[in-house]
Amino acid sequence: IDQLPHSEALILAQALAGPSSSGEHRRLQRLVEEARGHPLFIQELVRHTLSHGTEEPPRLDDTIWARIGELAEPAQRLLRLCAVMGSPLPVDVATQASSLLPEEVERALIQLRAANLLRASLSGHEPDSGARDIRAVEPYHDRIRELVSERLPPEGRQECHQRLAQALEKTKSTDPEALTYHFSSAGETDKAGPYALQAGDKAATTLAFERAARFYGQALEWLRLEDAQRRDLLIKRANALANAGHEYQASKWLIQAAETAEPEVASDLRRRASDQLLRSGHHREGVRLLREAFQNLGLRLFSSAWGAIFSMIGYR
Residue 80: CB partners within 8 Å, gap ≥ 6? 148, 152, 156, 160
Cα–Cα distance for residue pair 80/117, rounded to 1 Å: 11
For the stretch 189-242, pLDDT in tens is 999 999 999 999 999 999 999 999 999 999 999 999 999 999 999 999 999 999
Residue 1: CB partners within 8 Å, gap ≥ 6? 38, 39, 40
Cα–Cα distance for residue pair 182/160, rounded to 1 Å: 9
243: how many CB neighbours lie within 10 A of its CB?
16
Write the DSSP symbol of residue 137: E
Cα–Cα distance for residue pair 250/208, rounded to 1 Å: 16
Q: Give the three-state DSSP class for 310.
A: helix
CA atoms within 13 A on the CB side of 85: 27
The one-letter amino acid code at 180 reads T
What strands lie across the sheet with 118-122, from one edge to the other? Answer: 89-90, 134-139, 118-122
* Total residues found in the chain within this entry: 316
CA atoms within 13 A on the CB side of 94: 32
Cα–Cα distance for residue pair 158/106, rounded to 1 Å: 25
What pLDDT tens digit does each residue of the chain (316 aa) get?
567 776 777 777 777 777 654 456 677 777 777 777 677 777 777 777 766 666 666 777 888 888 898 899 999 999 999 999 989 999 999 999 999 999 999 999 999 988 889 988 765 544 444 445 678 999 988 888 999 999 999 999 999 999 999 999 998 888 999 999 999 999 999 999 999 999 999 999 999 999 999 999 999 999 999 999 999 999 999 999 999 999 999 999 999 999 888 888 888 898 888 889 888 888 888 777 777 766 665 566 656 666 667 667 777 8
Phi, psi of 90 (to 5 degrees): -60, 145
Q: How far is CA 297 from CA 95, 143, 228, 270, 287, in A?
A: 61, 61, 21, 12, 16
